């Protein structure tokens, strides 16, 4: 058996050493140095973290994953008959979630490189746990995200949705402005969006501050519950009890009532007070579901669109659909990188805050892994005990990354449905995200090579990557699976994007605006697609598979976080030293207070990773420093 970790081998700053010396305080997180072959490193990991791995596995599954998936079984079984507990009793009696995780883990194992399979066997042997349980622990992110996406979409498919928006009593025709940004000025329908879709920027500009709003809501098989309707305009809430709000059932061209539609009209009593106004709409239907209990209506996500008022002067694509948080959502994972003119000293820095599923336990099981393979570079990453990867890391070649999930129905679970329809099984496939990130740490010598590895992957889901290297290169990559009918890959190569802050053709949108940079020395990523915004659209008749922006619960919070982050980057350009990077990660508008898991600032040119771990949110912790240049 290899020797246990020697305290003298831990290359950390004085802050970490002082924390370790305070015997009366339990450590906020764990640190391991791992050396040798893949199996040997896994064995050391398992031996040193044995009790915590067992705690993490049992607590995470018992308190979060299993109950969450079991609650969603009725929605899944309504469409996928293999998960009906009556037809298939093996999925009954609370066994659905664990069996789903194990079946998907076995499917994913075939795509995991052999060295990481060996490492997981080492973790299992060292911890005394079953290998299959370690495999579930290392693949649940890929499975749960895809299953969550499909479940949330199915729930939304049975809820009301916005289909039209119109401004009444304040015509936009004749004002000499292209109000809706479609390239045409003063067309007869400029006040009407006849087919609504969510946008990352303003839907209209230069709207009179006295305009009356009409929103049409549609429910496929029920009616909107009037008492559930809630409209927020200019930070004022309108409900059924508000005299300014009215609801009617519209009619078609022949005068027949559209019984599944409801027109909601709001006539504000006073003019709007702000130059940018965001409208948020919420509603539920009158069809109660009793499974899972308690009985509940089908509620739409909070829909959001933005307008500017007369005199603001900017076109729609330069006005972000930012809005304000209404307290129902939290910021998602974020990342940003700076270099050269964005910093006071020219150093490259990458910051990342990962938020997904803390469940009151993940932050208690955080782990910094520092690997010293027999061949190749050393590397460090932040993650969790028992898991062989993390969503932010650095190698001794000076390559740093941060990675965020990005909801998409363009994933292998949806592909299974397009192959087998109602007989489909929710089996994920492709390279699990964590092992791709490990490949990047083990192989990449610069950000270009890291981006190529990410770009060329066969993804299990949608992912947003941010890379930086000690030479000053910054790259962002977005990927999705691109499945089509029959589950085949549709349009190979379209499901990925790779760009830099430089304003070349790949790095700007249709208006020539950079996808995710304020200037040429910064980049940022959130939890929504930009180049891949049209990630999926397929009408199957029974329901319409829609792009991320039209259903994801993360979309609007991610757009808001990216706009807030952009403002911070602009305000601090030239000032981004380590302290300013940390301060930015701690801005309340950018922090998920409930599901925060890890936070880091990485300086690839200095070989340093600064990590905040062990609290919720992670950003409340001190940032402790790990120096790869002095690691053994």
Bridging pattern class, strands 522-525 and 334-340:
antiparallel
Report how far residue 15's alpha carbon sits from residue 13's, in angstroms, rounded to the nearest whole number. 5
| Alpha helices (H) in 481-619, listed in sequence order | 555-571, 578-585
Domain shared by 182 and 257, yes or no: yes
∠ CA 150-156-162, rounded to 5°: 135
Question: DSSP characters for 398-433?
Answer: SEEEEEEE---S-SHHHHHHHHHGGG------SB-H
State the pLDDT at residue 71. 83
Tokens standing for residue 46? 């398992």
**Residue 595's domain spans which residues?**
7-152+332-630
Report how far residue 577's alpha carbon sits from residue 569's, in angstroms, rounded to the nearest whole number. 12
Q: Which of 475, 478, 481 is nearest to 449 (CA)?
A: 475
Report how far residue 282's alpha carbon sits from residue 232's, in angstroms, rounded to the nearest whole number. 9
State the pLDDT at residue 485. 52
Tell me whether residue 583 is exposed, middle or buried, using C-beta atoms within 10 angstroms of its C-beta: 0 to 12, 13 to 18, 19 or more.
Answer: middle
* In-domain check, residue 475: yes
Tokens standing for residue 85? 């507990």
Domain shared by 314 and 462, yes or no: no
CATH number at residue 476: 3.60.60.10
Domain shared by 520 and 595, yes or no: yes
Identify the domain boundary among 250, 283, 318: 318
CB 477 within 8 A of CB 498: yes
The residue count of the chain comes to 632
* In-domain check, residue 556: yes
Domain shared by 27 and 172, yes or no: no
- pLDDT tens per residue across span 313-350: 999 999 999 887 767 789 999 999 999 999 999 999 99
* In-domain check, residue 324: no
Q: What is the pTM of this model?
A: 0.92
Q: Which of 516, 430, 418, 437 is nearest to 476 (CA)?
A: 516
State the pLDDT at residue 279. 95
Report how far residue 94's alpha carbon sits from residue 108's, in angstroms, rounded to the nearest whole number. 23
Domain shared by 201 and 103, yes or no: no
> Who's near 579: CB < 8 A, 6+ residues apart?
none
- pLDDT tens per residue across span 358-369: 878 899 999 999
Domain shared by 307 and 358, yes or no: no
Report how far residue 624's alpha carbon sits from residue 632's, in angstroms, rounded to the nearest whole number. 18
Q: What is the mean pLDDT of each run of 10 residues along the chain (632 residues)?
A: 35 38 64 97 98 94 83 83 90 89 94 97 98 96 87 80 90 88 91 94 94 94 92 93 97 93 95 93 83 71 94 95 80 97 98 90 94 96 98 98 94 82 86 97 98 94 97 96 61 77 83 94 97 82 80 94 97 98 97 94 98 96 94 60
Domain shared by 147 and 165, yes or no: no
* In-domain check, residue 323: no
Domain shared by 135 and 263, yes or no: no
Query: To the nearest 10°, the Cα dihedral for 255, 258, 264, 267?
Result: 0
* In-domain check, residue 326: no
Q: Which of 211, 111, 97, 231 is nearest to 162 (CA)?
A: 231
Secondary element (H or E) of residue 478? strand 474-479
* In-domain check, residue 327: no
* In-domain check, residue 87: yes
Report how far residue 404's alpha carbon sits from residue 392's, in angstroms, rounded to the nearest whole number. 9
| Number of domains composing the chain | 2
Domain shared by 312 and 389, yes or no: no
Domain shared by 239 and 106, yes or no: no
Domain shared by 500 and 596, yes or no: yes
DSSP letter, residue 485: G
Domain shared by 229 and 95, yes or no: no
């Amino acid at each position: 058996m290899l020797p246990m970790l020697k305290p003298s081998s831990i290359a950390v700053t004085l802050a970490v050493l002082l924390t370790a010396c305070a015997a009366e305080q339990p450590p906020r997180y764990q640190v391991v140095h791992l050396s040798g072959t893949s199996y040997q490193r896994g064995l050391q990991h398992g031996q040193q973290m044995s009790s915590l791995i067992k705690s993490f596995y049992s607590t995470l599954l018992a308190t979060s994953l299993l109950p969450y998936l079991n609650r969603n079984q009725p929605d899944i079984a309504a469409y996928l008959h293999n998960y009906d507990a009556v037809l298939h009793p093996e999925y009954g009696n609370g066994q659905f979630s664990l069996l789903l995780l194990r079946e998907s883990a076995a499917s994913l194992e075939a795509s995991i490189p052999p060295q990481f399979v060996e490492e997981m066997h080492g973790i299992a042997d060292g911890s005394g746990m079953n290998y299959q349980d370690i495999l579930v622990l290392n693949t649940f992110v890929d499975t749960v995200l895809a299953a969550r996406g499909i479940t949330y979409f199915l729930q939304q498919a049975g809820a009301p949705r916005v289909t039209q928006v119109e401004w009444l009593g304040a015509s936009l025709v004749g004002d000499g402005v292209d109000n809706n940004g479609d390239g045409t000025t003063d067309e007869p329908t400029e006040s009407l969006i006849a087919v609504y879709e969510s946008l990352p920027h303003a839907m209209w500009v230069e709207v009179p501050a006295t305009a009356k709003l009409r929103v049409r809501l549609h429910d496929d098989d029920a009616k909107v519950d009037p008492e559930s309707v809630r409209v927020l305009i200019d930070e004022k809430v309108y409900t059924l009890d508000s005299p300014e709000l009215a609801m009617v059932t519209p009619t078609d061209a022949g005068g027949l009532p559209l019984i599944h539609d409801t027109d909601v009209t709001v006539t504000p009593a006073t003019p709007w007070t702000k130059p940018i106004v965001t409208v948020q709409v919420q509603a539920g239907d009158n069809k109660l579901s009793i499974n899972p209990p308690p009985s509940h209506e089908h509620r739409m996500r909070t829909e959001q669109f933005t307008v500017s008022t007369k005199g603001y002067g900017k076109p729609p694509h330069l006005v972000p659909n930012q809005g304000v948080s209404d307290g129902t959502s939290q910021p998602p994972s974020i990342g940003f990188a700076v270099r050269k003119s964005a910093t006071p000293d020219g150093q490259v820095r990458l910051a990342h805050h990962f938020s997904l599923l803390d469940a009151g336990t993940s932050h208690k099981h955080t782990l910094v892994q520092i690997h010293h393979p027999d061949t190749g570079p050393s590397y460090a990453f932040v993650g969790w005990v028992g898991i062989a990867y993390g969503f932010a890391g650095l190698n001794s070649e000076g390559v740093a990354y941060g990675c965020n999930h990005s909801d998409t129905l363009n994933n292998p679970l949806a592909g299974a449905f397009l192959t087998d329809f109602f007989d489909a099984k929710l089996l994920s496939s492709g390279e699990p995200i964590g092992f791709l990130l490990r490949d990047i740490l083990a192989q990449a010598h610069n950000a270009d090579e890291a981006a190529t590895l990410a770009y060329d992957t066969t993804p299990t889901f949608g992912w947003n990557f941010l890379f930086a290297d000690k030479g000053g290169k910054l790259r962002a990559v977005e990927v999705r699976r691109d499945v089509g009918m029959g589950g085949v890959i549709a349009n190979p190569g379209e499901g990925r994007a790779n760009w830099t802050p430089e304003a070349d053709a790949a790095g700007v949108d249709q208006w020539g605006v950079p996808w995710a940079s304020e200037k040429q020395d910064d980049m940022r990523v959130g939890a929504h697609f930009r180049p891949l915004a049209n990630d999926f659209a397929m009408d199957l008749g029974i329901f319409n598979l829609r792009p991320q922006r039209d259903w994801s619960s993360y979309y609007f919070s991610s757009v808001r976080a990216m706009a807030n982050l952009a403002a911070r980057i602009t305000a601090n350009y030239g000032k981004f030293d380590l302290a300013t990077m940390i301060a930015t990660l701690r801005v309340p508008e950018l922090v998920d207070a409930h599901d925060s898991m890890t936070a880091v600032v990485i300086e690839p040119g200095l070989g340093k990773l600064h990590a905040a771990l062990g609290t919720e949110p992670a950003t409340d912790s001190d940032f402790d420093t790990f120096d790869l240049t002095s690691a053994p």
